[in-house]
Amino acid sequence: MMNTLRRPVVAGNWKMNGNKALASEMSQAFDNQHFNNVEVIVCPPFPLLTQLSKESVKVGAQNISKFDSGAHTGEVSADILKDAGCEYVIVGHSERRVDNFESNGLVADKVDIALKNGLHPILCIGEPEDVRDAGDLFDFLSAQLNAVVSKVGIDAFAQLTIAYEPIWAIGTGKTASPEQAQEVHGFIRDFLATRNKEVAQKIRILYGGSVKADNATELFSQPDVDGGLIGGASLDPQSFISICRSAAEIA
């Protein structure tokens, strides 16, 4: 069962999808829902951040600039995100690491600036299939985590949420088995515990990778899985509500 000391999180990552109509539909769908024991977050594209009802869900961005302000065309700063009502920001998603060549160092810089500006980072880590097949999974994840620890310090992880997303399971229809997810989540918590046991116990670790209404309960039932970062299923309000309900029933 989920650890009752950690309030579960279900965060929807719309990626480059959605429109005003979907934002309105999502807000209306959640108006009559009361997930008091689950933190529900929706992360739409930048232009839609102000279109979601902040009374229905919490709002997060999908990216943040490492710069505070200035001549950085196409970038969006922490201040702009906060002005749009954001409380959370996804940092280091594998699609940005791959498509935009974001290094572990750059991801750490973005976590740092988010924290300094009062935003709650959802730090994404995860391995490609060839790394898992080669047996280098834990070294790969350790490098991703170490870059952030080195930049912000282990105590700052008390203000983070981690999302484990195996790259081979994102948008592919493949899903890590509950046992595979638990193995990695347990590793992440143990990794942090060697540096700060209290932080490790309290930090919420989400699973992401083809989470759907029909597999959410089994995944969320693992002791170190504290919710999910949901991709495609978060674009359907009823499916997303079903996933939130799964987390609420286990919490």
- Written as six digits, the tokens of 82 are 């906060």
DSSP structure string for 149-205 = HHHH-GGGGGG-EEEE--GGGSSSS----HHHHHHHHHHHHHHHHTT-HHHHHH-EE
Please tell me which residue in 93, 95, 102, 127 is annotated as part of the active site: 93
Gap between the terminal Cα atoms of the chain: 8
Rounded Cα distance between 197 and 194, Å, is 7
Of these residues, 95, 102, 127, 165, which one is catalytic?
165
User: What is the Cα gyration radius of the chain?
Assistant: 17
Torsion, CA 229, CA 231, CA 236, CA 239, rounded to 10: -50
Is 165 one of the annotated active-site residues of the chain? yes
Where do runs of H (alpha helix) occur along 67-177? 78-83, 94-99, 104-116, 129-133, 137-152
C-alpha distances in Å from residue 47, one per residue of 85, 139, 181, 215, 231 = 12, 37, 33, 31, 18
Q: 14-40 burial by CB neighbour count: b if 16+ within 10 A, else e?
A: bbeebeeebbeebbebbeeeebeebbb
Instruction: Tokens for 58, please give them.
Output: 């919490």
Q: Which residues are catalytic?
A: 93, 165
